[in-house]
Amino acid sequence: MNDMAKNLILWLVIAAVLLTVFNNFSVENAPQTMNYSQFVQQVQNEQVKSVTIDGYTISGERNDGSQFQTIRPAAEDPKLMDDLLAHNVTVVGKKPEEQSLWTRLLIASFPILLILAIFMFFMRQMQGGGAGKGGPMSFGKSKAKLLSQDQIKTTFADVAGCDEAKEEVEELVDFLRDPTKFQRLGGTIPRGVLMVGPPGTGKTLLAKSIAGEAKVPFFSISGSDFVEMFVGVGASRVRDMFEQAKKQAPCIIFIDEIDAVGRSRGAGMGGGNDEREQTLNQLLVEMDGFEANEGIIVIAATNRPDVLDPALLRPGRFDRQVVVPLPDIRGREHILNVHLRKVPLADDVKPSLIARGTPGFSGADLANLVNEAALFAARRNKRLVGMEELEMAKDKIMMGAERRSMVMTEKEKLNTAYHESGHAIIGLLMPEHDPVYKVTIIPRGRALGVTMFLPEQDRFSLSRQQIISQICSLFGGRIAEEMTLGPNGVTTGASNDIKRATELAHNMVAKWGLSEEMGPVMYDEDESHQFLGGPGQGGKLKSGETTTKLDKEVRRIIDECYQQAEKLLEENRDKLDAMAEALMQYETIDADQLKDIMEGRSPRPPKDWDEGGPGSGSPVTEQPQGESSPADDGDEDDEEPSRRPSDPLGGPAGG
């Protein structure tokens, strides 16, 4: 609805209100009212000068000039007229007032107008005020945002760390620049391209940069924008969007989160979903409906290609897939460089070091990291962003913000110090375990303390030994508590450790085929099962007996790891005490200090340590080896304390 129509309705409503009010009040000019008997009495007493008779209402003036009004009990009172005339009262008749047709119409339709207005209001609310947000204009029903070719500043230079994906989409640029030329040469151009990859890897950015390179308009919409309360709305939005796009061709239509509409039909929660299916059908119809030479390319993005309706992936639709993966170490460095260009940098900044320390980070995470670092620098009144700020930003993103203000009692602190030391020592001693990079008892995010491990490189698979070692180190915290506080003193702090250890053990047995007892069999069928049932109760094919066996095997692995860790910690009790003591003193200890402790020396203080207390930032600015990753820890409760980028196998089960 356009603005004029809206204004018109508004004025109509106001007019109707005014008229109603006017009609109700205009009748009464506040004359004195009296009852009919009094009136007749006064007429007979010759007190009345004139009357106006208007239906049941009689108003008039007395001889003394005062006004009056009365209501007569019956419309006809033949005797009254005689009375009036006999007593010299001037009688004025009055035709029943003609309300204008318009007035009556308005008054009659007032409630309808009101309902209409309210309805429109909600419709607008639902459309989520895309207009007027400045910049991209939103049109009609489709809600797609249109960026004209002059508005797009993004080019391939802004996208880093996904060179293969970039190469794959390069020919689209050629095509969009000159569709007809391409056709003459007999090239077949995909109409639909599906970009697949984890969140924040730059799918939107890449799509936009295609438009930027080809200098064509860019329509963008999110799949969830199609999903509406009313059946048919989504479908009409799709139709509308393609209509608009055809007018602008050559151009790009970008549909983010296509899984919101594109899920397999009839498979969603609670059976079918008419609205979504209609929308999807419309999308399929539209994709079939335009000719390949029209110069429209539909790019869709998703991180769940597995749930998409197969019909979407058929030839002629989204038949080309471009994978946009998480960046590797070099990719991360490139992405960092892209974003570091935008801030004033100190000389000590080494993007390669940050890249090494951020496995599992997406492009969006890295952009965020640079931004956070700039904020830290601003907060510290620095003119340049240095390595220290970048490190702080990295820690914040990995482990959550430091919560120095959180009050921990000395006892809680000591307990946390032992807990983290337990993790660290087991991590240091177990074979093939990621090196420990930093241990801290400064609360971060939801965790009371954190032990950080750094994998040597990006990992895409785990060996059996690595998993065993990880389970052991996860239990290190709990065991250390038990050793120092006694069996009744242990806290709830280890619940997240236990959860993760259980998940690892479960996956070993049920998913990764790493248990001899159970064999290389997939017991968890698919993700959705785990999602609904949780680990250990998913698979349809599992008999009760198999489930029992599974649980037993998980329990065996857990018990063995627990015992192994317990033995190790008991043998190294002196190191445990020394490390906890160092943590109480410094709050954060780094790899060098850890080394000192493990070799029986007392740890040297960190570089920026003054005897006054812990330094303001994290004392570690350079890591000697490898990459960092918070392989650990949420010591407060079940909630994930922070992101854990280093789960190479898609993370633990149970979602």
Ligand X SMILES: Nc1ncnc2c1ncn2[C@@H]1O[C@H](COP(=O)(O)OP(=O)(O)OP(=O)(O)O)[C@@H](O)[C@H]1O
Q: Residues forming the annotated binding site for Zn(2+)?
A: 419, 423, 497
Helix axes 36-44, 78-86, angle to 10 degrees: 30
- Closest separation in Å from C-beta 425 to ligand X: 38
**Structure token digits, residue 22:** 């006017």
Strands 436-440 and 320-323: unpaired
Which H or E run contains 59? strand 57-62
- Closest separation in Å from C-beta 636 to Zn ion: 10
Q: How far apart are CA 62 and CA 48, in angstroms?
A: 4
| Residue whose CB is less far from ligand X, 52 or 303 | 303
Please identify every residue annotated as catalytic.
420
Of 211, 314, 203, which Cα lies nearest the Cα of 262? 314
**Cβ–Cβ under 8 Å, residues 471 and 502:** no
Residue 440's binding partner, choosing from Zn ion, ligand X, none, with beta-carbon cut-off 5 to 8 A by kind? none
**Structure token digits, residue 353:** 């070091």
What residues from 341 to 360 belong to the interface with Zn ion (CB under 5 A)? Answer: none
**Cβ–Cβ under 8 Å, residues 279 and 238:** yes
| Residue whose CB is less far from ligand X, 128 or 289 | 128
Task: Report, in angstroms and rounded to the nearest whole number, the Rg of the chain calculated over CA atoms.
Answer: 38
Residue nearest to ligand X (CB): 363
- Closest separation in Å from C-beta 337 to ligand X: 9
Residue where the block lists tokens 């400045």? 134
Q: Is 335 in the site for ligand X (CB under 6 A)?
A: yes
Q: Is 160 in the site for ligand X (CB under 6 A)?
A: yes
Stretch that binds Zn ion, among 193-201, 491-499, 522-530, 581-589 (CB under 5 A): 491-499
Q: How many positions of this chain bind ligand X (CB under 6 A)?
A: 20
Q: Is 606 in the site for ligand X (CB under 6 A)?
A: no
What residues from 242 to 261 belong to the interface with ligand X (CB under 6 A)? Answer: 256
3-class state of residue 222 by DSSP: strand
Instruction: Write out the binding residues for ATP.
Output: 197-204
What residues from 262 to 321 belong to the interface with ligand X (CB under 6 A)? Answer: 301, 303
- To the nearest 10°, report the CA torsion of 444, 448, 449, 454: -60
- Closest separation in Å from C-beta 257 to ligand X: 7
Residue nearest to Zn ion (CB): 477
- Closest separation in Å from C-beta 422 to Zn ion: 8
| Residue whose CB is less far from Zn ion, 178 or 637 | 637
| Residue whose CB is less far from ligand X, 210 or 597 | 210
DSSP string, 458-508: --S---HHHHHHHHHHHHHHHHHHHHHH-TTT--GGGHHHHHHHHHHHHHH
Residue where the block lists tokens 């250390």? 480
**Cβ–Cβ under 8 Å, residues 636 and 447:** yes
Stretch that binds ligand X, among 90-98, 160-168, 456-464, 604-612 (CB under 6 A): 160-168
| Residue whose CB is less far from Zn ion, 320 or 478 | 478
Among 391, 482, 633, 636, the residue binding Zn ion under the rule CB under 5 A is 633
**Cβ–Cβ under 8 Å, residues 32 and 66:** yes
Residue 200's binding partner, choosing from Zn ion, ligand X, none, with beta-carbon cut-off 5 to 8 A by kind? ligand X
Among 363, 435, 476, 641, the residue binding ligand X under the rule CB under 6 A is 363
Residue 389's binding partner, choosing from Zn ion, ligand X, none, with beta-carbon cut-off 5 to 8 A by kind? none
What residues from 180 to 209 belong to the interface with ligand X (CB under 6 A)? Answer: 199-205
Q: Is 497 in the site for Zn ion (CB under 5 A)?
A: yes
- Closest separation in Å from C-beta 429 to Zn ion: 16
**Structure token digits, residue 449:** 């303390």
DSSP string, 258-321: THHHHBPTTTSTTS--HHHHHHHHHHHHHHHHS-GGG-EEEEEEES-GGGB-GGGGSTTSS-EE
Residues found near Zn ion in the complex (CB under 5 A): 477, 497, 633, 635
Residues found near ligand X in the complex (CB under 6 A): 158-162, 199-205, 256, 301, 303, 335, 338, 363-364, 367
